[in-house]
Chains A and B, each alone.
Chain A
Amino acid sequence: MSESSLAELLAQVAAGQGEALRRIYERQSVRLFGVANAILRDRDQAADALHTAFLSIQRRAGQYDPARGAAEAWLGTVVRNAALDIIRARGRETPTDDPTLGDTAVEPEALSALEAIETGARLRQCLEGLPEKNRRGIVLAFVHGLSHPQIAERLELPLGTVKTWIRRGLLSLRECLA
């Protein structure tokens, strides 16, 4: 018997099968805890984010539409929104000189991880088409939840320049993914 896909498990959660949510947790919690902790850099708060996110997944599983993207990506967005809510509530005092704030995710070879999910390959191509600083700014913001001023500090660039580059990067991505 083949294992149910994440999309099938989400459909089961939507149908009220509590067991399916636990199976999603078993399969995805290590990855999803990583998503929350990359943004919050605080294990207690990352656990709170994952807790909120799983309650949200239980309520909203019926909204997941496989035709509109991979289940991994949908789960990641729910967790990321929970983490961003926490980081905004605490006023973003996350230090940017934290040594655990790796740049690894920004390196081009790290982008190959995107191939692991269905919609990621195209995004990788589009990101690789961006100038390096635009790409770094977007990945640092998304993966580590850095604000404009924090990215400016990190990349040692004026704030205005960072804003402009990220906007340009977003526009190119939108065009490339269209």
Chain B
Amino acid sequence: MTPEERDLLAGEYALGTLTAAEAQAVEAAMANDPALAAQVLDWQRRLAPLTVLAAPEAPPPGLWARIEASLNPAPPPRARAPWLTRFWALGATAVAAGLAVVVLTRQPAPPPGPLMTVLLTDREAPAFLVEADRRDGEIRLAALNNRPVPEGRVRQLWALPQGATAPTSLGLVPEDGRISVRHADIRPEPGMLIEITLEPPGGSPIGRPTGPVLFIGRLLPARGT
């Protein structure tokens, strides 16, 4: 198949015109072929605005209740620091005394907990685990299901802090899919987007992504901390 034919197949898959058997074949190929998966994503992005052409229609009443009943419970709110809980437990008349207790017994604020995200393929298969340490700024990437990279291309890791307009390169992802980096300008924070793009050898020549986004995820506090 020529590169042109491959891209058209990705386009037809995104358009939805393939038969069930053909679509299944494309899905199976995508699982082993990040470049094809990226081409499908690009087509979905190009065509996505067409969804506004469908005639709006009210869903059946009760659908939200059905959805809500099946949602995963939200992550529990982070526990208040114990000293603060004790402080609130004191009566109003004991505030001054409480403050004194707090001052005497307060431990140093716990260090900010680790952040993590799992980068998913567009078919929701987990591809990479990203962990970030807010104390020293280290970001670690580990492939969960490492796949060969298309010949003549490399994977490049990027971070996009919230509010930033362009991502910052964190470097190239080695063949084994594992990398640990600290970047002087990037402080890991909740909400930061981490993504991997496919780039020419040596990485993007212009300092921002030029190739398709293969995997993307958003850093959040690791649960249970």
Contact = CB atoms under 8 A, between A and B. Distances in A.
A85 to B, nearest CB: 9
Interface string A12-25: 00111110011001
B55 A77 contact: no
Interface of A: 11, 14-18, 21-22, 25, 29-31, 33-35, 37-39, 43, 46-47, 50-51, 54-56, 58-60, 62-63, 65, 67-70, 72-74, 76-77, 79-80, 84, 88-89, 91-92, 102, 104-105, 110-111, 113-114, 116-117, 119-120, 123, 138-139, 141-143, 145-148, 151, 166-167, 170-171, 173-174, 177
Given A11-B191, A62-B117, A63-B217, A142 B57 contact: no
B225 interface: no
Contacts of B91: none
B71 A170 contact: no
Contacts of B171: none
B20 A34 contact: no
Interface stretch (B11-19, B99-107, B179-187): B11-19
Contact of A59 (B16, B57, B124): B124
9 contacts: A15-B220, A16-B75, A29-B58, A38-B55, A46-B57, A105-B53, A105-B55, A123-B50, A139-B50
B17 A166 contact: yes
Given A30-B56, A114-B52, A114-B53, A22 B68 contact: yes
A126 B46 CA distance: 11
Contacts of A120: 49, 52
B60 interface: yes
> Shortest 6 CB-CB distances between A and B: which pairs?
A76-B51, A62-B218, A73-B48, A120-B49, A38-B54, A33-B59
A interface, by DSSP: helix, strand, loop or mixed? helix
B93 interface: no
Interface in B200-225: 213, 216-218, 220
Contact of A91 (B20, B64, B67): B20
Contacts of A21: 71
